[in-house]
A and B are shown apart, each in its own frame.
Chain A
Amino acid sequence: MKTQTVNKTQVAEKTQRIAGSEAIVRSLMAEGVDILYGYPGGAIMPVYDELYKFKDQIHHVLTRHEQGAAHAAQGYARISGKVGVAMATSGPGATNLITGIADAQIDSTPIVCITGQVPSHLLGSDAFQETDIVGISTPVTKWNCQVTKSEDIPEAIAKAFYIAKSGRPGPVLVDITKDAQFGELDFKYEKCKGVRSYIPIPKTDPETIIAASELINNAKKPMIVWGQGVILGKAEAELKAVIEKAGIPAAWTILGASALPTSHPLNIGMVGMHGNYAPNKLTNECDVLIAIGMRFDDRVTGSLDTYAKQAKIIHFDIDPAEIDKNVKTDVAVLGNSKESLALLFDALNKNTHDSWLQEFKDLYAIEFEKVIQSDINPTKEGLTMGEVIKQINIESKGYAAIVSDVGQHQMIACRYADFNVTKSNITSGGLGTMGFALPAAIGAKMAAPEREVVAVIGDGGYQMNIQELGTIFQQKAAVKIVVLNNEFLGMVRQWQQLFFDKRYASTEMTNPNFVAIAEGYYIKAKKVTKRKELADAVKEMMASEESYFLEVCVEKEGNVFPMIPSGASVSDVRLS
């Protein structure tokens, strides 16, 4: 009898008559959301009213722009592996999310965006702040939907979270009309366990593991290039085990960075346009190229006609659409990287490739002499971006999460930052979104307050979302901000120098007093112009318990090398 009573109460608790707006907030909480980023407005106001009621259980972070909310949700997701949530009103609120959504789509970041929409009877009538956000977001979302009935809210949100985080993650947008927010429903939340038309993780065919292991076991010069798929698949340990057992030199793409510690003896650096000399050059010398959770982006491959033509290609990926998309593979291993790498491990022979590894070391020595030395230990006048990153390494000991924006500073940060722990390189890879870093760093810091989060940003990208200093101040988010100021849109300027005869069209920046701006937001701030001030300034910043802004005036016309010119072959990587 007693049990029955308990059950009855549980059932009564399970279905409650509540408003759609409350159902939205309760659904988010049921998905474990404790922080979300957003901006209120007319069509989402009922939800904000509920957020006010539930503010002890779910923390809404008011960003200063919806784009900031989307990037903050991305930063949250990238450092935690959980789904980030952004919320905005209809019309401009929703369209302002789009850049962040597109960024999350191309970088496979799980975020759920909730947008308000005009009441359903006004849909299609050009009502105030009406925009077809479902239509607009379709090409840049993994999935999206519009909810016009209150009773459909819990299921739509459950499906959104399931789709965002399962398989190859991505952004999902749920657009909810205002009448659906006001209307009532019998609320009962059930997590989504599957969608019949959707196979998140394709089955790994054991034959492909055998084929891959045979190629690897017989290889003389195998090389791994791993991407973010290792981090998304939580396969860092499996990757390490595979490369150690088979003694394979392993390189990473920009989003794969930090899955294996920088100092690991088999970590041979970054591939791609501004990656390391050795892995780029030797891509065209290896006999078996093992790509793991990466997608052969053009910034990685350079010209496809001359990319690893001599090698057998093995491609591990969760997304069948990536197989043969850019590079024709000899063996495709579908599945989750954690499981497929574990299977591969069992099939691999113990091996070493010392003379092959030595080739990487020899080329590294050349790169060090010609590029790295003058980047990180410069002797000439003018601070370099590289020496700033080196100072951060000294203070962080490789444990900070580096959130970089887009451009020269990003390449330098990815090249020189030490990473000892995974999920430490948060940057906009595929979309190359300037303005990403400042809000993403807020999201990262709030998701992982125990971690040191350092945003490294150029003077251009910083000014694309500089308003988020307000969010940092209001939230007391202890983000460290380093602006590497060269008074140029440096990467574009570098291309203008190299390929457009130094015609610096619209790349020179007349910048404001950044310290005064930071101080205007009550953020501790300092500006460094001389080498002798740098170490102490970085130390002070890293020691700060609160947010801290550090502007470092670096040489104006520094260039990032090595470089594979656009459309050139990886073996034509230039050192100067």
Chain B
Amino acid sequence: MNEDIKSFTISIYTENHIGLLNRISAIFQRRHINIESLTTSQSEIEGVNRFVIVVNMTETNTVKIVKQIEKQVETIRAYYHEEEDTIFTESCMFKIKSDLLFNEPQIQNIIKESSARIVTVNKEFFVLEKSGRRNEIESLRRDLNVFGIMQFVRSGRIAVTKEQMKITEMLTAFNNQ
């Protein structure tokens, strides 16, 4: 009975309908499941949105939740995948005092090694952007924290799946009905 809790990436293709985010998040809330991250954007299909939600759950509960999401009228399809079945990334930004860039030579090395990108520099601060895995971002944050970070923000996970998503076929089939 004691099933492992794992990280699952839930991908949901939906119509672009106001209130759908509420409807979907309520399904997690009812079962008292914390959403680790949630992003929503346009998908590869015009007019179709894609949610990417990361949760830590048992697979049994993930299956139940995915079915309940799929049951919503405006959900086209919902899938879940384990980490190894997706290619994923997160992105983050740091705002740091500019004088550190000149006074602390180590910072330049950290930036180079982490393959972070400087977005902008002015007299007061510079902004660093990095995409990558959570652990890379975390390690960069720890390294920079020693010198002081003015602001830090990290996005939710975005992911594409190795598996083919047959949404277009599904929508075409509906249109041909």
Contacts and interface: CB of A to CB of B under 8 A. Distances in A.
Counting chain B CB atoms within 10 Å of each CB, the highest count among A144, A146, A198 belongs to: A198
Given A134-B19, A321-B64, A196 B76 contact: yes
Contact of A143 (B67, B73, B76): B73
Interface string B12-28: 00110111001100100
Given A139-B26, A144-B19, A197 B74 contact: yes
Given A196-B76, A197-B14, A138 B19 contact: yes
A197 B19 contact: no
B82 to A, nearest CB: 19
A350 interface: no
B30 A139 contact: yes
A197 B75 contact: yes
Contacts of A135: 19, 22
Given A134-B19, A194-B177, A163 B71 contact: no
Interface string A125-140: 0000000001100110
Given A138-B23, A197-B74, A146 B171 contact: no
B68 interface: yes
Q: Shortest 6 CB-CB distances between A and B: which pairs? A: A321-B67, A196-B174, A197-B76, A143-B73, A139-B26, A198-B73
A144 to B, nearest CB: 7
Contact of B68 (A134, A143, A195, A321): A321
B73 A142 contact: yes
Contacts of B74: 143, 195, 197-198
B63 interface: yes
Interface residues of A, number: 21
A324 interface: yes
Interface in B119-177: 171, 174-175, 177
B26 A138 contact: yes
A367 interface: no
Nearest to B77: A197
Contacts of B14: 197
A135 B25 CA distance: 12
A163 B72 CA distance: 11
Contacts of B63: 324
A195 B14 CA distance: 12
A502 interface: no
A320 interface: yes
Interface residues of B, number: 23
B73 A324 contact: no
Contacts of B22: 135, 138
Interface string A508-547: 0000000000000000000000000000000000000000
Contacts of A184: none
A325 interface: yes
A319 interface: yes
Interface in A142-157: 142-146
Nearest to A320: B67
A463 B63 CA distance: 43
A101 to B, nearest CB: 14
B90 interface: no
Nearest to A137: B19
Interface of A: 134-135, 138-139, 142-146, 163, 194-198, 319-321, 323-325
A146 B64 contact: no
Interface of B: 14-15, 17-19, 22-23, 26, 30, 63-64, 67-68, 70-71, 73-76, 171, 174-175, 177
A146 B18 contact: yes
Nearest to A139: B26
A320 B71 contact: yes
A321 B19 contact: no
Contacts of A143: 73-74
A462 B177 CA distance: 49
A509 to B, nearest CB: 33
Contacts of B18: 145-146
Nearest to B171: A196
B23 A321 contact: no
Given A194-B174, A196-B171, A196-B175, A320 B70 contact: yes
Given A139-B30, A320-B71, 4 more contacts: A135-B22, A163-B73, A197-B14, A321-B68
A36 B171 CA distance: 36
B75 A321 contact: no
A139 B64 CA distance: 16
Contacts of A145: 17-19
A303 to B, nearest CB: 13
Given A144-B19, A321-B64, A324-B64, A197 B73 contact: yes
Nearest to B175: A196
A134 B177 CA distance: 31
A320 B71 CA distance: 8
A320 B68 CA distance: 9
Contacts of A321: 64, 67-68, 70-71
A325 B171 contact: no
7 contacts: A145-B19, A146-B19, A196-B175, A197-B14, A197-B73, A323-B67, A324-B64
B70 to A, nearest CB: 7
A323 B63 CA distance: 10
Nearest to B21: A138
A495 B18 CA distance: 44
Contacts of A139: 23, 26, 30
A93 B70 CA distance: 31
A319 B71 contact: yes
